[in-house]
């Protein structure tokens, strides 16, 4: 469709020259069709919350979205697949999810060379239970009608550690994204599911706030949601504006 | 891509189940459901 494009090469190119991205990655900023994913720096995933398109594009300011108590006030704990607010709520805390965002997940399921099919995986490295990587596996396992209990999970806390766990032989397969999947493939590991070639419309981000905040300032939360919708729409349709936003985000 | 929220709810439900399992008896609200943890008056699909 006209006006829709894949911005990932631009983001990767932009990151190449940036010192703070050394050893990290400009993962993907794929803007095509229904898919949207923005992860620009592996080393600081929480800092780079998916709220940034709204902020950097100026949409948030236009909609008068200030420190709304979600991704902004909680900063590094404002976004995630949902485990943080759920954990807080289950432990009696004052926390509610008020928006959900879909992405194109580009995680890969990588195994040692001897594993040739998802059904052969016995020990799988994930970041944590309830994480994107865990949910990604559950989603795939259900699609393939595999038993969810066929694998033993090993928590590693990060993609980098997932990759290292695979290299060390601690796990037979692991879930992670670029650049580790490319590195792993070059080192002879097998990409059972290749994320970059097969991005999945997978929900991986929720926005949450305290119930007190949502009761006290519901309009601020609504403005936040509206600004994110507008920003994502902008990324879908306006290449020039999107490239400007990427430049600002990367401080080029 | 579906516009409905069922897939998101599935993911949240997974996270809820796993967190409950992780917390075990430490969970103060073991009966919490997806409906309790999401404020549906705000929830929308950002796509």
Question: Which residues, including other chains, have CB under 8 Å from residue A199's CB and lie 6 or more apart?
Answer: A28, A30, A35, A37, A104, A105, A106
pLDDT at A39: 32
User: Nearest CA to CA, how far is B31 from chain A (Å)?
Assistant: 9
User: Nearest CA to CA, how far is B24 from chain A (Å)?
Assistant: 10
pLDDT at A131: 73
pTM value surpassing 0.80: no
In chain A, what percentage of residues exceed pLDDT 90? 13
Mean pLDDT over each residue of chain A, to the nearest integer: 68
pLDDT at A22: 26
Cβ–Cβ contact B34 with A under 8 A: no
User: Nearest CA to CA, how far is A22 from chain B (Å)?
Assistant: 30
User: Nearest CA to CA, how far is A63 from chain B (Å)?
Assistant: 16
Instruction: Please state which CATH number belongs to domain A107-198.
Output: 3.40.190.10
* Residue A55, phi then psi, degrees to nearest 5: -75, -50
Q: Say whether B20 and A85 touch across the interface (CB within 8 A).
A: no
Residue in chain B lying closest to A136 (CA): B11
More confident residue, A3 or A124: A124
* C-alpha closest to that of A87 among B17, B44, B3, B6: B17
CA A132 centroid distance within chain: 7
CB A224 within 8 A of CB A61: no
pLDDT at B4: 57
Report ipTM for this prediction. Answer: 0.84
Mean pLDDT of A26-49: 30
More confident residue, A220 or A31: A220
Q: Which two tokens stand for residue A99?
A: 């928006």
Q: A249 falls in which pLDDT band (50, 70, 90)?
A: low
CB pairs under 8 A between A and B: 120
Q: Which of A82, A211, A232 is opposite residue B46, by nearest beta carbon?
A: A232
Q: A200 falls in which pLDDT band (50, 70, 90)?
A: low
Mean pLDDT of A26-33: 31
Q: Which of B12, B26, B47 is opposite residue A232, by nearest beta carbon?
A: B47
Cβ–Cβ contact B33 with A under 8 A: no
Domain chopping of chain A, boundaries? 5-104+202-249, 107-198
Beta-strand runs (E) in A35-168: 35-39, 79-80, 96-105, 108-111, 123-126, 152-155
Burial grade of A154 (CB within 10 A; 0-12, 13-18, 19 or more): middle
Over the stretch A55-80, which tens digit does the pLDDT of each residue have? 667 776 676 665 443 333 333 333 34
More confident residue, A26 or A209: A209
CB A48 within 8 A of CB A215: no
More confident residue, A171 or A18: A171
pLDDT at A205: 67
Over the stretch A121-143, which tens digit does the pLDDT of each residue have? 999 999 877 677 887 888 788 88
Q: Say whether B14 and A130 touch across the interface (CB within 8 A).
A: yes
Tell me which chain A residues have a C-beta less than 8 angstroms from the C-beta of B19. 83, 86-87, 90, 129-130
Q: Say whether B29 and A81 touch across the interface (CB within 8 A).
A: no
Question: Which residues, including other chains, have CB under 8 Å from residue B17's CB and lie 6 or more apart?
Answer: none
More confident residue, A186 or A200: A186
Query: What's the CA gap between A174 and A193, in Å, rounded?
Result: 11
Compute, in degrees rounded to 10, the torsion defined by CA atoms A77, A22, A109, A152: -60
Query: What's the CA gap between A132 and A103, in Å, rounded?
Result: 11
Q: Which of B8, B14, B28 is opposite residue A100, by nearest beta carbon?
A: B8
Query: What's the CA gap between B42 and A222, in Å, rounded?
Result: 7
Mean pLDDT of A20-44: 29
Q: Which of B18, B29, B38 is opposite residue A130, by nearest beta carbon?
A: B18
Prior bond of A179 cis (ω within 30°): yes
* C-alpha closest to that of A5 among A37, A39, A33, A28: A33
Q: Which of B1, B29, B47 is opposite residue A92, by nearest beta carbon?
A: B29
Question: Which residues, including other chains, have CB under 8 Å from residue A182's CB and lie 6 or more apart?
Answer: none
How many C-beta neighbours within 10 Å does residue A115 have?
Answer: 18
pLDDT at A202 over 70: no
pLDDT at B6: 67
Range among A25-29, A195-199, B42-46 rated most confident: A195-199
Could you tell me whether strands A96-105 and A35-39 are parallel, antiparallel, or unpaired per DSSP bridges? unpaired
Q: Say whether A135 and B11 touch across the interface (CB within 8 A).
A: yes
* Residue A46, phi then psi, degrees to nearest 5: -75, -30
User: Nearest CA to CA, how far is B11 from chain A (Å)?
Assistant: 6
Mean pLDDT of A87-104: 76
Residue in chain A lying closest to B44 (CA): A99
pLDDT at A217 over 80: no
pLDDT at A32: 29
Range among A28-37, A82-91, A161-170, A190-199 rated most confident: A161-170
Domain chopping of chain B, boundaries? 1-47
């Amino acid at each position: 469709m006209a006006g829709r494009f894949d911005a990932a090469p631009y983001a990767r190119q932009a990151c190449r020259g940036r010192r703070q991205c050394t050893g990290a990655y400009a993962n993907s900023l794929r803007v095509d069709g229904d898919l949207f994913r923005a992860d620009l720096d592996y080393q600081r995933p929480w800092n780079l919350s998916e709220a940034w398109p709204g902020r950097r594009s100026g949409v948030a300011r236009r909609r008068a979205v200030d420190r709304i108590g979600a991704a902004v006030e909680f900063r590094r704990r404002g976004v995630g697949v949902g485990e943080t607010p759920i954990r807080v709520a289950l432990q009696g805390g004052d926390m509610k999810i008020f928006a959900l965002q879909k992405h194109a997940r580009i995680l890969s399921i990588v195994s040692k060379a001897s594993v040739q099919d998802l059904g052969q995986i016995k020990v799988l490295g994930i970041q944590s239970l309830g994480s994107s990587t865990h949910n990604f596996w559950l989603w795939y396992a259900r699609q393939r009608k595999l038993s969810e209990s066929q694998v033993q999970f090993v928590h590693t806390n990060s993609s980098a550690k997932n990759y290292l766990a695979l290299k060390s032989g601690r796990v037979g397969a692991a879930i992670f994204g670029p650049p580790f999947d490319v590195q792993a493939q070059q080192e002879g590991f097998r990409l059972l599911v290749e994320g970059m070639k097969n991005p999945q419309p997978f929900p991986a981000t929720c926005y949450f706030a305290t119930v007190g905040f949502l009761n006290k300032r519901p309009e601020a939360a609504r403005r936040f949601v509206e600004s994110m919708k507008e920003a994502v729409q902008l990324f879908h349709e306006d290449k020039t504006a999107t490239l400007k936003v990427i430049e600002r985000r990367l401080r080029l | 891509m579906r516009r409905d929220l069922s897939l998101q709810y599935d993911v949240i439900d997974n996270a809820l189940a796993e967190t409950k399992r992780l917390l075990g008896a430490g969970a103060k609200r073991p009966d919490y459901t997806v409906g309790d943890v999401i404020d549906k008056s705000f929830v929308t699909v950002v796509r």
